[in-house]
A and B are shown apart, each in its own frame.
Chain A
Amino acid sequence: ETGVTQTPRHLVMGMTNKKSLKCEQHLGHNAMYWYKQSAKKPLELMFVYSLEERVENNSVPSRFSPECPNSSHLFLHLHTLQPEDSALYLCASSQGGTSDTQYFGPGTRLTVL
């Protein structure tokens, strides 16, 4: 596979469930990002990892827990979510510089019941 992949593409979960979103990049990049895209707000940056270290946590509630075990994989662990957390979650990767292009995955459409 090439580029940035995300699984699952769709996820429906109850408020008491625990689930994880997975992102994998095949581009040899150093930085990976989680974004939230909801209908009512602009794209929101959630987390940034550079060389497997978290360098940004954009005031995200603790019910979202990221994990970056290596430079190719990024996870977003979800627990006790709220219906307002329903959104498209996008993963991206880049070399990490100011002018570098970010490459996005297709996203996971999350619905919290």
Chain B
Amino acid sequence: GNSVTQMEGPVTLSEEAFLTINCTYTATGYPSLFWYVQYPGEGLQLLLKATKADDKGSNKGFEATYRKETTSFHLEKGSVQVSDSAVYFCALSTDSWGKLQFGAGTQVVVTP
């Protein structure tokens, strides 16, 4: 079956530091890949996505590239802010109903 593995947190960083969250997946077929973010007390919201190999998703300074050869979709941001403190979820979808398979989530804490 499908699965998503992402690095465990919490990840604690200082403001303006570089952030990487690793995500690898196992899937049949050709999945679409997503990063969702959950701020405290809120539901999830899409951060970025990529639908085919070598696509790069980007939003709010975050980037992730769909790497089919390494089955990875690592999230990066060059300079984090305190407002980036949240839980980040990697996810994939392979079926026509759009069902999402999520990773466990990585909590990121950015300190001033």
Whose C-beta in chain B lies nearest to the C-beta of A42? B104
Whose C-beta in chain B lies nearest to the C-beta of A107? B43
Interface residues of B in 20-56 (CB under 8 A from A): 31-32, 34, 36, 41-46, 49, 51
Contacting residue for A106 out of B34, B43, B95, B105, CB 8 A: B43
- Size of chain B's interface in residues, with CB distance under 8 A? 26
Report how far A3 CA is from B94 CA in the complex, Å: 24
Whose C-beta in chain A lies nearest to the C-beta of B89? A43
Instruction: Flag if B103 contacts A48 (CB, 8 Å).
Output: no
- Size of chain A's interface in residues, with CB distance under 8 A? 27
Instruction: Flag if B100 contacts A102 (CB, 8 Å).
Output: yes
Report how far A99 CA is from B51 CA in the complex, Å: 6
Whose C-beta in chain A lies nearest to the C-beta of B44? A104
Expressed in whole angstroms, the minimum distance between the Cβ of B52 and any Cβ of chain A is: 9
Expressed in whole angstroms, the minimum distance between the Cβ of B93 and any Cβ of chain A is: 5
Interface string of A26-37 (1 = CB under 8 A from B): 000001010000
Report how far A102 CA is from B92 CA in the complex, Å: 12
A94, A97, A98, most chain B CB atoms within 10 A: A98
CB within 8 Å for A102 and B102 given contacts A4-B43, A43-B89, A90-B43: no
The residues of A that contact B99 with a CB separation of less than 8 Å are 33, 45, 48, 56
Expressed in whole angstroms, the minimum distance between the Cβ of A59 and any Cβ of chain B is: 13
Instruction: Flag if A99 contacts B32 (CB, 8 Å).
Output: yes
Whose C-beta in chain A lies nearest to the C-beta of B6? A42
Contacting residue for B97 out of A42, A43, A55, A106, CB 8 A: A55
B83 within 8 A of A: no
Apart from the given pairs A43-B44, A102-B46, 10 other A-B contacts in the complex at a CB distance below 8 Å: A31-B97, A42-B102, A56-B99, A92-B44, A97-B98, A98-B95, A101-B49, A102-B100, A106-B41, A107-B42
